[in-house]
Amino acid sequence: MLNIVLIMPKMEDYKDYHYFPLGILAIAASIDNIEYINYNIYDERVDNPSRLDALLQKADIVGVSMFTGYQVKCGCDLLVKTKSFNKDIITIVGGPHATALPEETIKSELVDYVVAGYAENSFRELIIDLLNYRKLTRAISGIYSKEENYEIPSDIKITYTDTPKNYRDLEWNAIPYHKINIDSYINPATQRVIYVTQYGCPAKCTFCATPETRKWAEKPIELIKKDLLHLYKTTKFKQLVFFDATLFTRKNRVKEIVEFLSTEFEDISWVADARAMEFKNYTVEDLIEINKSNLKLKHLTVGLETGSNRIAEDIYKKGKGHCDSYLKMAEKLSQANIQLTSGCIFGAPTETADDLYETLEFVSKVKKIHHNFKLSTTFFRPLPGTDLYEFVKSFGIEFPNTLDGWAKLEGVTHYEYNKWMSVPWMDTEEEKKYLVAYKEFISAHGDILV
């Protein structure tokens, strides 16, 4: 029998309620039917620390998910605890940070294996090897391991096989909600739950996602229905948040999902994300039909990022004509009586105060078109593995090159909503002008910020 503990470290230290640990649950689903293994999920955000102590007593393998920032710090603390408890426990690290920087991550003495990319298939195959042989015996796509030269302890050879070119062959499984205490995640005031219907996004925005997670794969519709029926039976949720990077890529699929929801559930609302360009394929009538009266579409979140054509197309790579597409989309949503929520990202590399003034004027145009328009603002912070992460290095910005180094940064890499933050890649004089423009933006549009 192989005992596995899958860990979701804290992502921040201030929330009362948290979303389900979807990444951990997806990994768990991939091994749920393997004989001779027993697994448990430990979520540091909601579980008592004493529970982890008890789970480590029998653990053979510990898997930890990490997103760059505070979660890396917490994840490393948990790895230290694991190895201090029993150095023979096999540790596996996955998640966005490990996917972006797998070679840095595997070099850590705390880490035995790294799983990069969408890992359902590769993690399952790694676990089968560890179950049978207690080590990796073959090349598995996306799995990083290391072979140490014991004559020269600091000499480590990294072995890996590239992640798949796509994830169309993912083995989808029902989410094992029974492995978590669902009540720990439900805010009685909102009764909100989240769900993912597809992985990845067809867009190529330079601030978002590593190449491994730009690959797009849809969960089968029948499995979506099965999961949501089980989730509703368990939670009686009142609001469903589709946590996909974008839900609206294929119109027929969206209509099938909405039809299912409106048939099976009563008195619920839902929320989703989309891209402005996708609404070229939707008429106002389509959107009115999607926004059915018995199934309230609380709001759609559609990324604006900037009102500057140069920043949108040349820096963020939102696609040619992004700003024009956004205005047309806003008009359609307004006519369909669908609330529009969006976000602006300030401080992009090469951005100037003039670019921010363009965004200020653009948001004014959107407000005139859509009278139920809400907005949040953040300052750009580069995520490892993204195109802009590499770009800002040309400005002399330095980043850690070890897992421990990233852990020591803690939350420094995090953005904050609707708050001024410094722009390290902007020269001093331009930053002064940018601050003036920022204050004017807040003065003009503070009434719609959320």
SS3 assignment for the chain: CEEEEEEECCCCCCCCCCCCCHHHHHHHHHHCCCCCEEEEEEECCCCCHHHHHHHHCCCCEEEEECCCCHHHHHHHHHHHHHHHHCCCCEEEEECHHHHHCHHHHHCCCCCCEEECCCCHHHHHHHHHHHHHHCCCCCCCECEEEEEECCCCCCCEEEEEECCCCCCCCCCCCCCCHHHCCHHHHCCCCCCEEEECCEECCCCCCCCCCCHHHCCCEECCHHHHHHHHHHHHHHHCCCEEEECCCCCCCCHHHHHHHHHHHHHHCCCCEEEEEECHHHHHHCCHHHHHHHCCCCCEEEEEEECCECCCHHHHHHHCCCCCCHHHHHHHHHHHHHHCCCCEEEEEEECCCCCCHHHHHHHHHHHHHHHHHCCCEEEEEEECCCCCCCHHHHHHHHHCCCCCCCHHHHHHHCCCCCCCCCCCCCCCCCCHHHHHHHHHHHHHHHHHHHHHEC
Fold of 195-380+420-448: pyruvate-formate lyase- activating enzyme (3.80.30)
User: Residue 151's pLDDT is what?
Assistant: 53
User: Residue 166's pLDDT is what?
Assistant: 75
Angle subtended by helix axes 22-31 and 120-133, to nearest 10:
50
- Global pTM value: 0.93
10-residue averages of pLDDT along the chain (450 residues)? 97 85 96 96 96 97 96 97 97 96 95 94 96 92 79 65 78 93 93 93 86 82 96 94 94 95 92 96 95 88 97 96 97 96 97 98 98 95 92 92 94 83 94 98 96
* Segments making up each domain of the chain, as ranges: 2-160, 195-380+420-448
User: Residue 203's pLDDT is what?
Assistant: 86
Fold of 2-160: Rossmann fold (3.40.50)
